[in-house]
Structure 1
Amino acid sequence: MAGGNQAVNLNPPYAQEHLSTNGSDWLWTVFSIMGLGTLLAAVATIMRPRGTRLFHQLAVIVLTTSSIAYFSMASDLGATPITAEFRGDETRQIWYVRYIQWFINFPTIILGLLLATGLPLSDIVTTLFMSVVVVVSGLVGALVHSTYKWGYYTFGCVALIYLWYVLLWHAPASSFAAGGVVRRGYYLATGYFSFILITYPICWACAEGGNVITVTSEMIWYGILDILAGPVFLACFLWTLRGIDYNALGLHSGKFVDHGAAGSAVRGEKGAAPVAEVPPVIPAGEQAA
C-alpha cells in the first residue's frame, strides 16, 4: 500500500486547495477499516444459512463500495478542481467518487432498515428515491461554483427531511411482522443512523459549500462519519437481527438450493406433485400371441 506522500506525488492534485499528505494517510487508515469490515461481513454472510443472508449481503455491498471509494481518495484520485465560492479564483478539489459511494450506500442502508418494517413496496421505493435526491443534489451543488449551489443544497435538505419522516415516524407506525424484538432494534438503529445523517449536510456546508474548512479537514470529518454510518452501524444493526425469523418477515435471499431434496426450493412455490409412471402403449398388431 502506498503512503500518503507517495500517493500525492504519483497523482498530483490539480487544484490550489487540495489533499495533503497527512490527509492521504488518514484516508488509507479509513480504507483499511472499510476493507477489514468487508472481509468480516463476507465471512459472516458465508456462515449464515442459505436463505437468511439478505441483510448481511447488503452490508457486503456497502462496505465493498466504501473500500473502493476510499482507496481512490487515498490515492488522490476521483476528484476535479472547481472554483471555490468566497475564494476569488482559487480552485478546490471536489471528490465526485465520494458521491458515487453515497449513491450506492445510502439507498442500500435505508433499504435494509425498511425491509425490517411493514412498509409497502411503494413507500420503500419512494424513500429510496429521496435518498438518491439527497446525494445527487449534494454532488451537483458541489460542482457549481456560484451561489446557485445553495439551491441544490436546499433540495437535498428537503429530501432529507422526508427521509427522517419515513424512518422515524411513518415506518415505525407500520406493523412489524417479526414482532417487538425487531421493532426495538429498528428504533435503536434508525435513531442512530438518523442522527448521523444530520451531520452530513453540516459538513457539506463547511466544506464543498462554504469552503470554510480545508480539504484535509473535510476528509477527516467525512471519514469519521462514513465509519460511523458504515462498519459501526452495520455491525450493530446485524447484531440486533441475529435471531430474526426470515419466515416471519417473508424474506429470503432469493433462490437457494435445498440439498435435502432433488432440485431447488423457491420461496412461495410448492413442489410439483409426482407424475405417475404410465406404461408404454403397444399397438395391437405387435402384442404377443
Structure 2
Amino acid sequence: MLVHPDMMKTSSLIATSSVAPIPTIVPTPTIYEEAGDMGKRTLWVVVVLMAISSLAFYGMAWRVPVQKRLFHIITGFITTFAFLSYFAMATGGGIGYNKYTVTESHKRVPDTHQDFVREIYWARYVDWTLTTPLLLLDLALLSGLNGANILVAIVADVIMVLTGLFAAFGTSEGETWGWFVWGCIAYLVIIFQLAFNGRTAVENKDSKTKTFYASIAGFTLILWTTYPIIFGLSEGGHVINVDQEIVAYAVLDILAKPVFGFWLLFTHDSMSSTSPSLEGFWSQGFGSQGTLRVGDDDEA
C-alpha cells in the first residue's frame, strides 16, 4: 500500500505534539521569623524596668558606707548590663540571622524542603556573659564560697553561655544540640558549686544567713533551669515564635535580675551578718592604710 507523502507529514506532526511538556520546579519562598509588635513592646518594657532597677540599686548603695556597698555595686552592674542589652535589641541592634531547613518526607512524591531564617538576639548572650557571673559572685559572697570554687563556677558559667550562643547559630540539628549538651554539662558544674560547695560554706554562718542563702540560691537555680527549656522551644526546636521567645526570656530576666536584686539587697541591709565590710584599697585607695603591698620583705 502506498502512502501519500502529505499523510506521512501529518502523522509525524501528530506524534510530535503528543510529547508532554517538561514540568518546572517552582522554588518555595524562604520564611522569615522576626519579632512582631508584641515582642518589640516587650523589649521596651524590659528596658524601662532595668533602668529603674539600676537607679534604685545605685541609690541604695549611697545609703550605706562604701565599705558595705559590694553587693549593691555588683547588683547594680547586673541590671545596667541588662539595660544596655535590651536597649540594643529594642532599637534593632544586637540581632543576627540563622538559616535552617525543614525537610518533610512523603510516600509517593519527593521530599519537600522549606527554608527558614530566624532572628537570633546575640546581644542577649553578651548580656548573660557579663551578668550571670556577677549573679554567681553575689551568691558566692553570700555563702562564703572560697576563691577556687568561685573561679570554677564563673568559668563554667561563661562556657554555658557561649555554647548556648553557638547552639543558637547552629546550621544543623547535630550542631545545635551538640553545643546544647555541652552547655548543660557546664550548668551541672554550676549547680554543684552552688548546691553542694555553697551549702557547705554557708554552714559556718548563722541560721538566718543559711536560710536566706538556701532560698535565694534555690530560686536562682530554678530560674536558670528554665532558660535551657525556653531555648529548646525557641532557637533550638523552633516550636515557639520569636515574640513568644522574647516574652519568655523577658519574664525570666526580670525575675533573675531586678527581683533577685531587690530581694538580695533588702535582706542584706537588714542582716548585719551578710554585710561584709571591705577595708583597704576598696574603701581607702592607695593611702597609708590601703596601700597594696606585693612581695615586700617583713621589717619586723
For normalisation by structure 2, the TM-score amounts to: 0.78
* Residues 1:266 and 2:277 aligned together: no
Whether contact under 8 Å (1:34, 1:231) holds in the other structure is yes
Selected match of 1:163 from 183, 190, 201: 190
Q: Following TM superposition, by how much is the alpha carbon of 1:268 offset from its aligned partner in structure 2, in angstroms?
A: 9.5
Selected match of 1:224 from 237, 251, 261: 251
| In 2: Cα distance, 1:247 partner to 1:199 partner | 28
Change (3 A) 1:109 1:175: closer
| In 1: Cα distance, 2:67 partner to 2:273 partner | 8
Q: Following TM superposition, by how much is the alpha carbon of 1:226 offset from its aligned partner in structure 2, in angstroms?
A: 0.2
Q: Following TM superposition, by how much is the alpha carbon of 1:181 offset from its aligned partner in structure 2, in angstroms?
A: 2.1
Change (3 A) 1:23 1:248: closer
| In 2: Cα distance, 1:247 partner to 1:198 partner | 26
Alignment correspondent of 1:29: 45
Is there any run of 5+ residues in structure 1 with no aligned partner, and where? 1-14, 270-289
* Residues 1:39 and 2:45 aligned together: no
| In 1: Cα distance, 2:280 partner to 2:53 partner | 21
Whether contact under 8 Å (2:279, 2:290) holds in the other structure is no
Alignment correspondent of 1:154: 181
Selected match of 2:234 from 177, 202, 207: 207
Residue identity matched to 1:158: I
Any idea what the Cα deviations from partners look like across 1:138-168, whole Å, max 9, x if unmatched?
0011011211110110001111112112211
* Residues 1:110 and 2:110 aligned together: no
Whether contact under 8 Å (2:268, 2:274) holds in the other structure is no
Selected match of 1:56 from 47, 67, 72: 72
Q: RMSD of the TM alignment (CA)?
A: 2.4
Whether contact under 8 Å (2:209, 2:273) holds in the other structure is no
Whether contact under 8 Å (2:50, 2:79) holds in the other structure is yes
Whether contact under 8 Å (2:269, 2:275) holds in the other structure is no
The structure with the largest helix share of the pair is 2
Change (3 A) 1:58 1:120: same
Q: Following TM superposition, by how much is the alpha carbon of 1:34 offset from its aligned partner in structure 2, in angstroms?
A: 0.6
| In 2: Cα distance, 1:170 partner to 1:86 partner | 44
User: Within 5 Å, which residues of 2 pair with 1:184-203?
Assistant: 184-203=211-230
* Residues 1:125 and 2:151 aligned together: yes
Selected match of 2:264 from 230, 234, 237: 237
| In 2: Cα distance, 1:29 partner to 1:59 partner | 20
| In 2: Cα distance, 1:47 partner to 1:134 partner | 36
| In 1: Cα distance, 2:291 partner to 2:195 partner | 31
| In 2: Cα distance, 1:40 partner to 1:253 partner | 27
Change (3 A) 1:51 1:248: closer
Change (3 A) 1:76 1:212: same
Whether contact under 8 Å (1:51, 1:253) holds in the other structure is no
| In 2: Cα distance, 1:248 partner to 1:223 partner | 30
* Residues 1:89 and 2:112 aligned together: no
Whether contact under 8 Å (1:41, 1:59) holds in the other structure is yes
Q: Following TM superposition, by how much is the alpha carbon of 1:179 offset from its aligned partner in structure 2, in angstroms?
A: 2.4
Selected match of 1:179 from 206, 229, 238: 206
Alignment correspondent of 1:284: none
Is there any run of 5+ residues in structure 2 with no aligned partner, and where? 1-30, 104-113, 294-300
| In 2: Cα distance, 1:154 partner to 1:113 partner | 25
Whether contact under 8 Å (2:280, 2:291) holds in the other structure is no
User: Partner of 1:90: helix, strand, or coil?
Assistant: strand
Change (3 A) 1:117 1:69: same
Q: Following TM superposition, by how much is the alpha carbon of 1:119 offset from its aligned partner in structure 2, in angstroms?
A: 2.2
Residue identity matched to 1:160: Y
User: Partner of 1:172: helix, strand, or coil?
Assistant: helix
Change (3 A) 1:120 1:134: same
For normalisation by structure 1, the TM-score amounts to: 0.81
Any idea what the Cα deviations from partners look like across 1:99-139, whole Å, max 9, x if unmatched?
00000011100011001223221111001111111100100
Residue identity matched to 1:58: I
| In 2: Cα distance, 1:33 partner to 1:264 partner | 42
User: Partner of 2:98: helix, strand, or coil?
Assistant: strand
Change (3 A) 1:188 1:252: farther
Change (3 A) 1:251 1:115: farther
| In 2: Cα distance, 1:267 partner to 1:231 partner | 35
